[in-house]
């Protein structure tokens, strides 16, 4: 990889700011690193219009020779296919957003969309549309509106920071936000969802670790999909986070042709536990536009989960979860009412019947 960045020193490579400022973003750069055929250019550019590509040099090095990881970062023709069930807002964020950037879908918790930046853009991203809209969320009025909403809803005791990637923010901004959250008596837990430890482990600096030392419990849910992502840099970042008192858990998206087999999921779940990261969620790929080629039938996911449980036991077995309209459903046999060739009918958390396509 160094040959693709001949001017990078060891210090540069280990600097998260250098990594971010040298992200691979256009066809020529992708072509150079992944040896893409010039014939792919037109499709690459069309798919990029729907959702821009970007990856850190670190993650480019990790995925350069891994066919499965490449599928998750290189725009391809499959993304141009339209699927009947896909929608721009698969999680119904707009419906549940009383304040721009705040999603209130469940009684006790709200999710704050911290921005539209990520270190790497995943081709299967659920919030493609939100990221593409590139809205400025962190305006001075944002916190005031969030605070008002929280005060009016005393049942809320947990804030989830998501996005975009919350760890993309500068420490100073993140620290200010943490202090504001901690100043609210009603908030007892902070949760952060981030892929940054996987795609930019250099971001886990001493200064960030200090920022993450909060008075109330902080859970970091790491988005990780493949055992190849359990690099030594990642493990060191996870170790540093654990030492700083952050509770680590994982979320994995089940992706066809990437990780939908036991030979990938077993070492991933085992490796996570060994790095003190509790496997928490295995997500069915959401119904975002251009993602049908990533979706695995729910029944296959259930079979994979059964195998994980049989091989590794409960500690290494995540919940298998889908997020259809109306809210999350744990995909377990008791929540599957019936199925057909098109998909499954699920019992939602509210007791209603919802369809989820294969
Ligand atoms: S890190 Fe998360 S929010 Fe960002 S592109 Fe990937 S899936 Fe989407």
Q: Is the CB of 128 under 6 A from ligand 1?
A: no
Q: Residue 74's pLDDT is what?
A: 97
221-251 residue pLDDT tens = 999 999 999 999 999 999 999 999 999 999 9
**pTM reported for the whole predicted model:** 0.93
Domain limits, the chain: 2-80, 102-357
The overall average pLDDT reported for the chain is: 93
- The residue-averaged pLDDT of 26-55 equals 95
DSSP string, 147-204: HHHHHH-TT--EEEEESS-GGGS-HHHHHHHHHHHHT-TT--EEEEEESHHHH-GGG-
255-265 residue pLDDT tens = 999 999 999 99
Of the chain, the percentage scoring pLDDT greater than 70 comes to 99
CA of 201 to the centre of ligand 1 (A): 15
- E-strand ranges in the chain read 102-106, 109-113, 158-162, 189-194, 218-223, 247-254, 278-284, 319-322, 329-330, 336-340, 343-347, 353-357
Q: Is the CB of 70 under 6 A from ligand 1?
A: no
As given in the structure block, the two tokens for residue 322 are 């889908």
Question: Residue whose CA is closest, atom 7 of ligand 1?
Answer: 125
- The residue-averaged pLDDT of 45-69 equals 95
Q: Residue 2's pLDDT is what?
A: 59
Of the chain, the percentage scoring pLDDT greater than 90 comes to 77
User: How large is the C-alpha radius of gyration of the chain?
Assistant: 20
CA of 196 to the centre of ligand 1 (A): 10
Q: Quickly state the pLDDT bin for 1 (edges 50, 70, 90).
A: low
Q: Which of 66-70, 90-94, 163-167, 354-358 has the highest mean pLDDT?
A: 66-70
The answer to whether 99 and 149 have CB atoms below 8 angstroms apart is yes
Q: Quickly state the pLDDT bin for 208 (edges 50, 70, 90).
A: very high
Q: Is the CB of 237 under 6 A from ligand 1?
A: no
CA of 125 to the centre of ligand 1 (A): 5
Q: Which of ligand 1's atoms lies nearest the C-alpha of 118?
A: 4
- The residue-averaged pLDDT of 256-281 equals 98
Q: Is the CB of 123 under 6 A from ligand 1?
A: no
As given in the structure block, the two tokens for residue 39 are 């014939």
Q: Is the CB of 195 under 6 A from ligand 1?
A: yes
pLDDT at 141 over 80: yes
Question: Residue whose CA is closest, atom 5 of ligand 1?
Answer: 121
CATH number of 102-357: 3.20.20.70
pLDDT at 90 over 80: yes
């Amino acid at each position: 990889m160094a040959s693709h960045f001949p001017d990078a020193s060891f210090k540069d490579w280990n600097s998260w700011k250098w990594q971010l400022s040298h992200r691979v973003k256009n066809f020529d750069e992708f072509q150079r690193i992944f040896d893409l055929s010039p014939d792919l250019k037109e499709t690459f550019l069309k798919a990029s219009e729907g959702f821009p590509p970007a990856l850190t040099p670190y993650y480019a090095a990790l995925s350069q020779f891994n066919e499965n990881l490449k599928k998750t970062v290189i725009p391809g023709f499959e993304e141009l296919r339209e699927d009947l069930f896909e929608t721009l807002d698969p999680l119904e964020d707009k419906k549940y957003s009383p304040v721009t950037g705040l999603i209130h879908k469940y009684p006790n918790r709200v999710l704050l969309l911290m921005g539209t930046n990520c270190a790497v853009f995943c081709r299967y991203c659920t919030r493609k549309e939100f990221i593409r809209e590139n809205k400025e969320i962190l305006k001075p009025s944002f916190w005031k509106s969030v605070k008002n909403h929280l005060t009016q809803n005393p049942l809320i005791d947990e804030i989830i920071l998501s996005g975009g990637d919350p760890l993309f923010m500068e420490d100073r901004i993140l620290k200010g936000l943490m202090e504001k959250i901690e100043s609210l008596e009603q908030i007892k837990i902070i949760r952060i969802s981030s892929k940054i430890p996987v795609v930019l482990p250099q971001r886990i600096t001493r200064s960030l670790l200090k920022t993450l030392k909060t008075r109330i419990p902080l859970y970091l849910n790491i988005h990780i999909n493949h055992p190849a992502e359990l690099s030594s840099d990642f493990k060191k970042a996870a170790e540093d986070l654990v030492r700083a008192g952050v509770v680590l858990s994982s979320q994995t998206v089940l992706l066809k042709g990437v990780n939908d087999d036991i030979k990938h999921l077993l070492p991933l779940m085992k490796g996570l536990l060994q790095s003190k990261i509790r496997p928490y969620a295995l997500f069915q790929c959401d119904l975002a536009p251009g993602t049908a080629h990533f979706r695995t039938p729910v029944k296959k996911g259930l079979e994979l989960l059964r195998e994980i449980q049989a091989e590794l036991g409960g500690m290494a077995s995540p919940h298998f979860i889908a997020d259809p309209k109306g809210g999350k459903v744990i995909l377990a046999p008791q929540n599957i009412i019936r199925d057909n060739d098109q998909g499954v009918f699920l019992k939602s958390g509210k007791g209603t019947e919802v369809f989820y396509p294969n």
